[in-house]
Structure 1
Amino acid sequence: MTASNTRPPVARPVRILAVADSDSYLKWGAATLATLTDVGVLELVLLRSPILPSPDQRAAAVAGTPFARVDVPVLTPRALRAHLRMTDPDVVLLSATGPVAELVVRIVERADARAGRRRPTRATTGSAADRAVEPDAGLRPTTGTERARASGAAAPRSRRPALVGGLPGMSYPATLRALRFRAGQDAFVVHSQRERREFAAVADVLGLDLSVALAPLPFLPAPHVVTPRTQVPPDSEPLDAMPHDAAPRDASRTATTCGAPGHDSASLRAAPAATHRATAATQGAPLSRVVFAPQAKMPVTRPHRVQILEALARLAAARPGVDIVVKVRGLAGEAQTHHEDLPFDALLADLVASGSVPQGALRVATGPLSDQLVPGSALVTVSSTAALESLAAGVPTLVLEDFGVNERMLNAVFLGSGCLGTLDDLAAGRFGVPDQAWLDDNYLHMSPSELPALVRQLADARRAGSLVPPAASRRDGVVLGRSRRRLARTLVRSQAPTPVLTLLALPRSTRQALRQALRPAGRRVIAR
C-alpha cells in the first residue's frame, strides 16, 4: 500500500452563512465567524430592517475580523431566499434580533418544503444491540428523529441548512421570549456556564429540542486570569477600586435595590470586596483615560443620565490630565439594536450649551471600543457588554449601582463581581477589580469553544439528510405566541421603502405623536 493510500480523507469545507440585522448582532456574527476560519467557507450578509447599521457602524462592527475590508451585502427576505438557493450553505448562523431570526427560520422551513426535500423514512425501533448501547434513549428523546423512532412513527428528514443562533453579549437572565423567537433552531450558543444552565432550563420549559453550546464571547481576548494594567498616578490620589470600608454601605443598599429572590445581596457584595477590591497593580500604566460605555436602554430617565455625565465632569475637574471619553455605539439619529430615546451625545451637547458641563471636559467617540481601552485606561458603565471587554483587557471597571441592580436594569449578572460602585466612586476615580470565581462562572471562563465541533457535526447531519424540519424540533404543546402576526410585521419592515424604514426607526413616542397629528380633528377628539 502506498503512502498516498494511507492518508486520511480531506474533510470537506463547511459552508457557513451568517445573517445579521443590527450593529451589535453584526459585530457578534462577524466575530463568531472569525472563530470558525478553520472549519470552512464563511459568508456574512445583512437583512434589511429599520435598525440596519450605518456605514460607520458596520465598519466598527467588523473591525479586526476577516470581513474588515468586505462590503457586507444587504438583502431583502426575497433576495435571501434566492441567495440560500444559490449558495446552498451547510449551516446558517442566525446573528439577528428575535423577530428576524424567527423570519429566517421560517424562510428556510418553507424553502425546504417547496423543494420537496422532506423525505419520510421508515422508522425502526433499532436492534437489541442498539438498545443496549442507548438504554435510556426512549425516556427523553432529544430530537424529532429520536422521538419518531421511539414512538415507531415515520421520522421526517430534511436536507435544509442547519440553524444555529445566539445573543450578542450578556444574556442573563435567560428569558422565554428569547427562545420562543428561536424555536426551530438546531443549536443555541451561550457564553457562560451560568447562561448554559439557565437557557437549558428555559428550553426544557418551552419544550424545545435545542442543543445549548458553550463558546467564549468571540470579540473578547483569549481567556486568561485577569490582572489590572492601570496603576496609581504618582501625583494623584490612588486608583483604589473602592475602599474596604465601603463594602457594608454598598452591600446594604444593594440588598434593597436589587431584590433578587433567594440571594443574600449583602454577602454577594461583601465577599469580593474584602478580597478583590485593592489598589490597581503598580506595574501598569498611570491612569490617563476613563471611558464611559452607555447602555442604550438604561438608565431610562433623563435626570439619571444627566447624573452620569455630571459625575464624569466632576472627575474631569478633579483630574485635568485624564481623558474622559463617552464611547457611543452610534450618534444621535443612527439606528442601534436597542433604540435609545435619550442619546448621550445629544444630552452632553445640551449640558455644554447650558453651561452645566464645561466645554471640552468630556469628548464623544465612536468606533471599536478596543481603540479606547489602551494601557492606562479605566471603564465605567451602567450595564453593557463593554464591561466584559474591559475586564478581559485587564482594564479596571466600574458598574454603576445608583439606579438599581436587578434584571430590569440588565445588570443583575454583576452581583458578586467585585465591580459594583457608585457615582461618587466614579467622581473620585475608584474602579473595581473583578472576582476570578465570578469571571469563571460568567464570561471570562477558560473553557474551549464547543462551536467548531458542533458546526461540523451539524454539517455532517445536513449532508446525510438526517436533520428534521424546524417544526419537528418543537414538542407537542409548545406555545410560540402570535407568530403569524410577528412574521408578517417583520416581513413588511424588511421590505418597506427607505422613507418608511426611516419612519419606523423613530422613537415610539415620536411615531405616536405623528400619528395623532395626522388624524382628522374629529377623530383626535374621539381618541381622547
Structure 2
Amino acid sequence: MGRSWELLSSVFLVPVSATKSLRVAVLADSDTRWKWGALTANRMAPENSDIRLDGYLLRGRATPTARQLDEVGVRADALHEVTAVQFLHAVREEPYDVLVLALVGGGVQAVLHGLGRVWEDGGAGRRKRPVVVTGYVGVVYEKLADGLLLRHGADLVLANSRQDADRFRAVYEGVGADAGSVTEVALPFLGGAAYDGGPGPSAEPGGRPHTVVFAAQPSVPENRRDRTYLLNRLVGHARRHPECEVLLKLRSKPGEHTTHIEELPYQKLVQRLDPPANLRLVYGHMGEVLDRTDLLVTVSSTAALEALHRRIPTAVLTDLGVREALGNHHFVGSGCLASWDQLDAGHRPVPDEEWVARQGVAAGGAAYDRAFDTARARIAELLARPGGLPPLAPYYTPVTAPGYLPGLLARHHLGPDGTPLPGTPAAGKEPGPVRQIVRRAARGAYRHGVQRVAPVIRRMGEL
C-alpha cells in the first residue's frame, strides 16, 4: 500500500511456507487491537497446524506507527494499511478461513454489514464465507450494551473471562438477540514467569532494586489536574524510597495514538515536576517490564490483569475515587484497591482468589493453556459445516436501528445496505506518492491538534 508500507512490511513480515492449513485475516485499528487480534488468531488456530496471518491496519487517527508495531512484537505474513472498503475488496478476493475484527464497536458493525453485502446470496460463484470473530482488548468497564450490540452478528464474540461471558449473554438475551456467539476465552497476551517475591523493599547493594511500576493510561484520568496529582504522588513515592526504582510505563510517545486519544501525555507533564534520579520513563513490551516489577500500580489498566496473572502485587488506585468514569469500579471485590498513602506506608494488596478466578487470570498454567479450546472447537465446527455458514445477522438493521445504523456505516463510506457509497475510491486503487504525503501530514496535524491546540482552547474557555 505505497512505498512507506512496503518498507514497513519488510520489517514486520515473516517467511511464508508453501502451504497453510488455516488462512486468517486480522483487521485492527490501533496497536493494542492489532496485538489482541493477532495473538487471538494464533491462539485459536488448530493444534499442530500452520496458520497464515494477514494483517490489515484500518486507516485512521490511531493507525499504528512502525515503532508501535515493533513494540507489540507480533509478526504477520503480510501487512497492509487499508480503508474498510479496501478490506472488503481483499476479503472478496482472498480465500480466508477466519476473519478477526479487532476494532471499536462502530467499526465492527460497519464491517459486518459490508461483509454481509459481499456474501449476499452466496455471491455469484463465491466460495464459502469465512468465520467472523470479534471481541475486546481488555477490561470492559464502559458502554457495555452499546459495545456489545455493535459487535453482535459475528460468529464468535469472545469474552475474556467467565464474568464477561455471563454479562455478554445477559445483554444479548435482554434485547432478544441470539447469545450463541458468546464464547469464553481469556486475554491472549497473559503469560510470563510467576513472581518469585523479588528483592524486597531493601534490596542488597549491587542487586536488582525493588521496582515499582505505574502503568499509565492514555485516557484515564483525562484532565490535567488529576494526571498531575498522580504524577506528584509517583514522584513523592520515588523520593520517599530512594533505594527503589520507580518506573512510569507509557503506552505511546508524543504524536502517536493508541486505542484512546491522549491529549495530555504524561511524559510532558512529568518534565515540570523535577523527578528524582530513581524515577524513569519506560516504553516497550509490558511483559518485559513486568519481568522486573515488584509492585504494579494503575488506575484501571488491563496491565493489572497481566500482573495478577503472574502473582505480582498489584494496586488499583482509589485516590481519585472509585468511579465508573475511571474504570476502577471493575476491581471492586478484587482486594487490590488502595491509595498512594497506603502504598507509601508499605501496604501491599492481597488479591481475592475468587474474584481473580472469575477474571480468567492466575488460574494456573494448565487452565490458561486450555482457555481457547472452546473457541478453537467452535471454529472447526463452523468451518466443517455442510453447505457453508448462514448469512451474517447483526442485531442492528435498517429496521431495528434506522436512526443509528446508517450513520455508523457512512463513517466507513458504506450505505445503509453495506454497499460502498458513490464516490468511494476504487477498492484496489493505491494512492499516489503525493496523496500519501498529504495523508501523513494530515494525520500529524490531527495529532498535533489533539495534544497541543485542543488543551489550549479548553483552558481559554475556562477563563
Instruction: Answer whether TM exceeds 0.5 for this pair.
Output: yes
- Structure 1, residues 272-300: CA drift from partner, whole Å, max 9, x if none? xxxxxxxxxxxxx9752111101222123
Report the secondary structure of 2:412's partner residue: helix
* C-alpha distance in structure 1 between counterparts of 2:271 and 2:82, whole Å: 36
Q: Is residue 2:229 matched to residue 1:307? A: yes
* C-alpha distance in structure 1 between counterparts of 2:446 and 2:391, whole Å: 33
C-alpha contact 1:81 1:107 (8 A) present in aligned 2: yes
In the other structure, the counterpart of 2:155 is 186
Q: Is residue 2:137 matched to residue 1:215? A: no
- Structure 1, residues 11-62: CA drift from partner, whole Å, max 9, x if none? x93322111110110110121122134365231221211111111111122x
In the other structure, the counterpart of 1:170 is 139
Distance 1:507 1:180, change over 3 A: farther
Q: Which amino acid aligns with 1:116?
A: G
In the other structure, the counterpart of 1:507 is 450
In the other structure, the counterpart of 2:60 is 49
* C-alpha distance in structure 2 between counterparts of 1:478 and 1:82, whole Å: 27
Equivalent of 1:31, from 20, 25, 39?
Answer: 39
Percent identity over paired residues = 30
Equivalent of 1:372, from 289, 293, 298?
Answer: 289
Report the secondary structure of 1:29's partner residue: helix
Aligned pairs (5 A) from 1:20-419? 20-37=28-45, 38=47, 41-43=51-53, 44-61=55-72, 63=73, 65-67=74-76, 72-113=79-120, 116=123, 159-172=128-141, 175-210=144-179, 211-221=181-191, 229-230=197-198, 232-234=200-202, 288-352=210-274, 357-358=275-276, 360-375=277-292, 377-419=294-336
Q: How far apart are 1:367 and its partner, in Å?
A: 1.2
- Structure 1, residues 284-341: CA drift from partner, whole Å, max 9, x if none? x975211110122212321221121111212211221222111111012211111112
C-alpha contact 1:90 1:161 (8 A) present in aligned 2: yes
C-alpha contact 1:173 1:198 (8 A) present in aligned 2: no
Q: Which amino acid aligns with 1:20?
A: A
Report the secondary structure of 1:230's partner residue: coil
Q: Which amino acid aligns with 2:52?
A: L
RMSD: 3.2
Q: How far apart are 1:498 and its partner, in Å?
A: 3.5
C-alpha contact 1:207 1:475 (8 A) present in aligned 2: no
Report the secondary structure of 2:44's partner residue: coil
Q: Which amino acid aligns with 1:200?
A: R
Report the secondary structure of 1:313's partner residue: helix
Q: How far apart are 1:499 and its partner, in Å?
A: 3.6
In the other structure, the counterpart of 2:392 is 470
Aligned residues: 404
C-alpha contact 1:325 1:363 (8 A) present in aligned 2: yes
* C-alpha distance in structure 1 between counterparts of 2:44 and 2:446, whole Å: 35
C-alpha contact 2:263 2:455 (8 A) present in aligned 1: no
Q: How far apart are 1:212 and its partner, in Å?
A: 0.7
In the other structure, the counterpart of 2:440 is 498
Report the secondary structure of 1:35's partner residue: helix
In the other structure, the counterpart of 1:455 is 379
TM-score for both structures, normalised by structure 1: 0.69
* C-alpha distance in structure 1 between counterparts of 2:140 and 2:314, whole Å: 19
Q: How far apart are 1:91 and its partner, in Å?
A: 1.6
C-alpha contact 1:295 1:384 (8 A) present in aligned 2: yes
- Specify the structure having the higher radius of gyration (Cα): 1
* C-alpha distance in structure 2 between counterparts of 1:84 and 1:168, whole Å: 23
Distance 1:18 1:195, change over 3 A: same
C-alpha contact 2:203 2:209 (8 A) present in aligned 1: no
- Structure 1, residues 431-466: CA drift from partner, whole Å, max 9, x if none? 3221111111113143632221122122223xx334
Report the secondary structure of 2:351's partner residue: coil
Q: Which amino acid aligns with 2:377?
A: A
Q: Which amino acid aligns with 1:339?
A: I
Q: Which amino acid aligns with 1:433?
A: V
* C-alpha distance in structure 2 between counterparts of 1:229 and 1:491, whole Å: 53
Report the secondary structure of 1:507's partner residue: helix
TM-score for both structures, normalised by structure 2: 0.78
Q: Which amino acid aligns with 1:332?
A: P
Q: Which amino acid aligns with 1:370?
A: G
Q: How far apart are 1:72 and its partner, in Å?
A: 3.0
* C-alpha distance in structure 1 between counterparts of 2:398 and 2:404, whole Å: 17
Greater Cα shift, 341-350 or 169-178: 169-178
Distance 1:370 1:116, change over 3 A: closer
* C-alpha distance in structure 2 between counterparts of 1:167 and 1:511, whole Å: 29
- Structure 1, residues 58-104: CA drift from partner, whole Å, max 9, x if none? 1122x2x454xx66322223432232123221221111112222222
Report the secondary structure of 1:56's partner residue: helix
* C-alpha distance in structure 2 between counterparts of 1:117 and 1:489, whole Å: 28
Report the secondary structure of 2:401's partner residue: coil
C-alpha contact 2:262 2:451 (8 A) present in aligned 1: no
In the other structure, the counterpart of 1:486 is 408
Where in structure 1 are there 5+ consecutive unaligned residues?
A: 1-11, 120-157, 237-284, 515-528
Q: Which amino acid aligns with 1:326?
A: L
* C-alpha distance in structure 1 between counterparts of 2:352 and 2:402, whole Å: 39
C-alpha contact 1:176 1:206 (8 A) present in aligned 2: no
